[in-house]
Structure 1
Amino acid sequence: MQPAIEQIRQGRMKRRRRYVGMTLLLTIIAVVLSGLMLMLGNTIYPIQDVIRVLLGEDVKGATFAVEVLRLPRMLAGVFAGAAFGAAGTIFQTMLRNPLANPNVIGITTGSSAAAVFCIVVLQSSEAVISIASIIGGLVTVLVIYFLSKGAAFSIGRLVLVGIGIQAMLTAVINYLLLISRQNDVAMAMRWLTGSLNGAKLEELPPLMITVLICLPIVLLLTRQLEMLELGEMAATGLGINTNQTRLLLIVAAVFMLALATATTGPIAFIAFLAGPIAKRLVGTSHAGILPAALVGIILVLAADLVGQFAFTARYPVGVITGIIGAPYLLYLLIRMNQKGDF
């Protein structure tokens, strides 16, 4: 009996060390990419000049480029990446399905449709667009949930209903773009492609505050989320108030998604890819919310750097992440169909 207990304890310590080690490694990579975002551009500034600018010094040439152009872009990528990565993992873990993420089941599309409607029809301000984006995401979640409920809740049905809702909302967005004025098309397209271009420091506080509030709440609920992954009956048997926990997780995730979408547009596949990559790195014994948020940051920053400097033309970050994520989505659909998960 004693050797078995010791073996279990050692296995738990090994998994814990792997989780901590990979989380630290992901943090270092995210910090390095953040630094590169501030250093690289039409003019490359050394790291010491960047640090001096961040400390408040006036460095000729570097101050404007770093403070006005690169710092807002980097911060938008960091907080949007964390929001998409964490929120996607919440839905995938809670619903026990890798396809049950906000991009595939239409939640980000709902936020985008609301935002585009405000831009094209109402000519609203940035504040109203952000609020509409939040409401659009919450309403989409409720509609998908009630349509997929049926006699008994089915995750497969929820995914299929979500894909249908996404197709319908995409058609609505296309119609709004068709009737929009030419001046509104460029701004509206931001909600469809996902881009860090034109990020402004004064527009970032709502997203930053939302992530800094919601992400710690989600991290405090990590143990409950792990129990929800075991199934409704098992979680209830372990003393979890499943309805309350699920509500808190969904509200936190949707708020992060909506504000990230309102700031950068729905950057394709970050919410879809971050969770599975994090699970591969830290193991499946943890919900992996923090690693997924870090992976989301890394994917957004790396994709933006590739879009800016790897080609002769510059591409928005959403184009690069779409190229990465689309093949994985097709592979996952084929694999799940072969397993009979639908």
Structure 2
Amino acid sequence: MTTIRIPRLGWSLRFRYRALAAGIGCTLLAALVGVLALGSGDYPLSPGEVLRALTGGGTPAQDFIVNELRLPRVVTALLVGAALALAGALFQSLVRNPLGSPDVLGFTQGAACGALTVVVAGGGSLALAGGAVAGGVLTGAAVCGLAWRDGLHGGRLVLVGIGTAAILTGVNGYLLTQAKLMDAARAVLWLTGSLDGRGWSDAMPLLIALAVLGPLAVFGCGRALHLLELGDDTAAGLGVRVEPLRLALLASAVVLASLAAGAAGPVSFVALTAPQLAKRITRAPGPNLVVAMLTGAALLATADWAAQRLFTGHQLPVGVVTGVLGGGYLVRLLASERRAGRI
């Protein structure tokens, strides 16, 4: 652990070299994949041409292809990955369980329920994203309300979330049967998780949310969150207001997960996998929020690029790739937890 102090401002910054190296590595990987994605497609461009177009030195055609057609999708992928990873890291830290994520706790299913309600009602794409955000937020409020009893206990929250997810899965299946054929086909693609056709209007709400909630979680609540992982009594003894902190961070995580679902659909397993990968890369205690966000951004951008390139002439929804990889990781995680005697 290294500490850098700025006496004039009264600030101090503590970091671990391994965590710093991991963050830089994830950033470079995300940037590399982003450049490759911007240069791939029916009109291929070299990395040099992509960089010239990004800095305003390319031809009008290159500028249009890179900045207008491809860049919004890449930026949306990076932001969705970062938002899901931050939400997952907050959930896992608050419930002190590696299985704590929007996928498991029912918030993803709630966002899907809101979106499907809009589809059945005949709403457009913008209304669908709004329905997803509303569904996720309402589900988060319902789960927290049902789990509340003299405070929010992590185990109780997980159990209520799993039950809510099961109920909403059935509701979502029923809503699909009530939609028109074309609307149902559009909804199924969205439910898989897809970044096709994403524009700046999809990226901006996530950018604003991350700009506000990211620093709040990392710098405003990071130390308190680390203390909370030691137990409620220990954290309270060290001056942490446990329940207000837990509610504020849960609300932030629900908003981030809901906005991510509204932008790209319920992309599975990124929120579960990215924080665990960050812990294994850094080998550091605590939630590792910054590295988790960078890992999630790199993970989803890589998955989206792979989804476009795995099969020639056919693009997969990014949720298919994250589902396959994340499902395999979940099996491995459950096996390791069983060997450790925790389940």
TM-score, structure 2 normalization: 0.88
1:143-154 alignment to 2 at 5 Å?
143-149=142-148, 154=153
Say whether residues 1:16 and 2:16 are aligned partners. Answer: yes
The corresponding residue for 2:165 is: 166
Q: Is the 8 A contact 1:134 1:254 kept in 2?
A: no
Q: How many residues align?
A: 332
Task: Describe the superposition over 1:185-236 as per-residue Cα deviations: whole angstroms up to 9, x where unpaired.
Answer: 2332243111111111233211221122111111121111111111110110
Task: Describe the superposition over 1:47-94 as per-residue Cα deviations: whole angstroms up to 9, x where unpaired.
Answer: 232223223356154233212321011011010000001110010011
SS at 2:102 equivalent: coil
More off after superposition, 156-165 vs 328-337: 328-337
Q: CA deviation at 1:104?
A: 1.1
Quote the Cα distance in structure 1 between the aligned partners of 2:159 and 2:251: 22
Quote the Cα distance in structure 1 between the aligned partners of 2:285 and 2:40: 38
SS at 2:43 equivalent: coil
More off after superposition, 189-198 vs 95-104: 189-198
The corresponding residue for 1:45 is: 45
Q: Is the 8 A contact 1:111 1:134 kept in 2?
A: yes
Structure 2 stretches lacking a partner, 5+ long: 4-12
The corresponding residue for 1:328 is: 329
1:19-98 alignment to 2 at 5 Å?
19-57=19-57, 59-98=59-98
Q: Is the 8 A contact 1:130 1:258 kept in 2?
A: no
Quote the Cα distance in structure 2 between the aligned partners of 1:129 and 1:289: 29
The corresponding residue for 1:140 is: 139
Task: Describe the superposition over 1:240-298 as per-residue Cα deviations: whole angstroms up to 9, x where unpaired.
Answer: 11122112211221111111110101111000000010001112324211111111111
Indicate how the Cα distance of structure 1 residues 148 and 311 shifts in structure 2: closer, same or farther if over 3 A, else same: same
Q: Is the 8 A contact 1:108 1:257 kept in 2?
A: yes
Quote the Cα distance in structure 1 between the aligned partners of 2:156 and 2:48: 54
Say whether residues 1:318 and 2:319 are aligned partners. Answer: yes
Q: Give the letter aligned to residue 218 of structure 2.
A: L
SS at 1:198 equivalent: coil
SS at 2:94 equivalent: helix
Q: Is the 8 A contact 1:81 1:299 kept in 2?
A: yes
Two-structure CA RMSD over aligned residues (Å): 2.5
SS at 1:204 equivalent: helix
Say whether residues 1:104 and 2:104 are aligned partners. Answer: yes
- Overall identity of the aligned pairs, in %: 35
Indicate how the Cα distance of structure 1 residues 333 and 146 shifts in structure 2: closer, same or farther if over 3 A, else same: farther
The corresponding residue for 2:222 is: 222
Task: Describe the superposition over 1:290-334 as per-residue Cα deviations: whole angstroms up to 9, x where unpaired.
Answer: 111111111111111111112233211100010011122233335
Q: Is the 8 A contact 1:192 1:266 kept in 2?
A: yes
Indicate how the Cα distance of structure 1 residues 191 and 170 shifts in structure 2: closer, same or farther if over 3 A, else same: farther
The corresponding residue for 1:156 is: 155
The corresponding residue for 2:209 is: 210
Indicate how the Cα distance of structure 1 residues 153 and 68 shifts in structure 2: closer, same or farther if over 3 A, else same: closer
Quote the Cα distance in structure 1 between the aligned partners of 2:14 and 2:175: 53
Q: Is the 8 A contact 2:95 2:158 kept in 1?
A: no
Q: Is the 8 A contact 2:229 2:286 kept in 1?
A: no
More off after superposition, 227-236 vs 239-248: 239-248
Q: CA deviation at 1:37?
A: 1.5
Q: CA deviation at 1:14?
A: 11
SS at 1:104 equivalent: helix
More off after superposition, 195-204 vs 276-285: 195-204
Quote the Cα distance in structure 1 between the aligned partners of 2:202 and 2:153: 39
Q: Is the 8 A contact 1:86 1:271 kept in 2?
A: yes
Q: Is the 8 A contact 1:261 1:267 kept in 2?
A: yes
Indicate how the Cα distance of structure 1 residues 242 and 114 shifts in structure 2: closer, same or farther if over 3 A, else same: same
Quote the Cα distance in structure 2 between the aligned partners of 1:74 and 1:251: 27
Q: Is the 8 A contact 1:115 1:130 kept in 2?
A: yes
1:186-265 alignment to 2 at 5 Å?
186-220=185-219, 221-265=221-265
